[in-house]
Amino acid sequence: METILSWLQSGLSGVGPLFILLGLLIFVHELGHFMVAKFFGVRVEVFSLGFGKKIFQTQRGETTYCISLIPLGGYVKMFGDDPTKSVASEEKPYSFLDKPVSQRIAIVLAGPLMNLFFAGLLFFMIALIGQEVPGSVVGDVAPSSRAYEAGFRSGDKVLEAAHVPIKTWRELSEIIQNSVGKTLDFKVQSENSEEVRTVSTNPTYGPSDDILTPNEKVGTIEGLAPESLSSLIGIFDPQGLAATAGLRSLDFIEKIDGADVHGFRNLEGLLKNAQLRDGKALLSVFEYHMGEEPKRREVSLNLESLSSDSPSILNAIGVESAELYLLRLKPNGPAMTAGLQRGDKVIAIDGTPITEWEQVLNTIKTYDKIDTPVNIEVLRNGLKTSASVTPEMTDLMNAQGQEESRYTIGIYPGLSMSYPPLVLERTNNPFQAVSIGIEKSYEWSKVIVLGFVRMFQGDVSPKNIGSLITIGKYASHSFEAGLSQFLRMMAIISINLFLINLLPVPVLDGGHLVFFSIEALRGAPLSMRKMEIAQQFGLVILISLMVFALFNDISNLFSAW
């Protein structure tokens, strides 16, 4: 019930941003039709945002401008657009259907093209305003990785790659992806140090993490990534200094003495500084629950009793990463039914010690003993206990948006990741901003088209299609994140509208373009009967798609549990 209420609250909180987003995009689209129609001398009778009953209207010249009740689109009503009605000869110069086919095609095409132009304008604005993006700071580097062998270390800041100044992770990633077989020199600055050194290595082909890119393999340096374990903690010693001070398993540490914590790796250094300064540390924390507003509190740690030469303060106070701690359990799922609880730490499965969450995933995914339980050993409040859990086959979606069926037991770990500190990416050059606007519009058009292709190929699940509920949710999140993020989302949806409206589906602009193109080729329009059948077919497709999208949103809510 809490999940449903949270979902509804999230959807309702997105109503304001959703109306702003849809209102602007619909206005821009219809404005395209309107301007080109007026340019060719077509009389525009109605310009409406929304469908259905008019809730506001005003007359300006020959056009009624209105806002209608159902905000699922808009329309421009042009004089002479109904083929069943005759038009007086003196009125034909103002009639839509009496205009040459080329002009009608231009009027219909103007709506989608206006969405594309608007997206470019938004990306242009973002380039000038600036947006915060992940910086070029390396995440956790495993000692067994190629990145570590080359000389990269956790927390390194990449200043230069292939003699090109680097500021963002995207810039670094693009150079690596396009440099297979080349030896690259990187200038990096060590974490918590002014030391700058050179690291040299050559990228090799590896699978792309992004299914919506045309290249299945790109240049990679194995082990080099921006992700680090977050500062979500587990308490392994219930009698330790951290526990007695008030810290609990699955607490998220945001700040130490006012300084932001950028990952679990930073905790040791910040606590060490506090120990050397006055032996006291003030922590800003909250107990982490997915999808819930954090309830922050402060915890004071007295580190004076610890030896100054202690090899690990975290170990001394009883704190570790929450990677192996159970963050939540599926209600009435196999794990909960067997007695496992939130906060349990997984230490062994069928007698095999567990040191990382990947082992848990692989053990359950490769389960092949039908109806035979696995024995999961956990630590609970410092005491060992175990549970016999029988995995169940589950349909779910992977990180690439593909559906897969595999065994699960309904547990979710405290494996939370943090990312590099954000840096402001912007330009003061308006000509460069124009170039960025064009480039981003082209890039996102390719990504969206490729998404459609991958969906038809079965590589991307159609369950990724969302309704207004999903759009409202993301509109709210981006609105809260700031102006640049909201404009970015608006630009991406505007490109979606540009492409979707060009689909050759009757009732969409693309369907009208098909009708007019056929008319241009054969010299006469299709019969009324054929167009009516096509329009009805298109309407069924559109309504079916909307119902399917709504079904996805509702089913995704329940499948999350």
| Active-site annotation holds for 30 | yes
- CA dist 5 and 540 (Å) reads 32
In the block, residue with structure tokens 């058009």: 445
Give the span between the Cα atoms of 168 and 166, in whole angstroms.
Answer: 6
Comparing CA positions, the residue from 484, 478, 518, 497 lying closest to residue 112 is 497
For residue 367, what is the DSSP state? -
Which segments of 307-398 does DSSP mark as H helices, in order?
313-317, 334-338, 357-365
471 close to 21: Cβ distance less than 8 angstroms:
yes
d(CA 429, CA 124): 11
Contact 349, 381 (CB under 8 A): no
Angle, in degrees to the nearest 10, between helices 483-501 and 468-481: 150
Q: What is the DSSP string of 439-507?
A: HHHHHHHHHHHHHHHHHHHTSS-GGG---HHHHHHHHHHHHHH-HHHHHHHHHHHHHHHHHHHTSS-TT
Mapped onto helix, strand or coil, the DSSP state of residue 290 is: coil
Strand partners, 185: 200
**Two tokens, residue 99:** 């205009």
Please identify which of the residues 2, 30, 254, 392 carries the catalytic annotation: 30
**Sequence letter at residue 120:** G
For residue 232, count other CB atoms closer than 10 A to its CB: 24
**How far, in Å, CA of 296 to CA of 230, rounded?**
17
Q: Which residues does residue 34 pair with via DSSP β-bridges, in sequence order?
A: none
**Amino acid type, 221:** I
Q: Which residues are catalytic?
A: 30
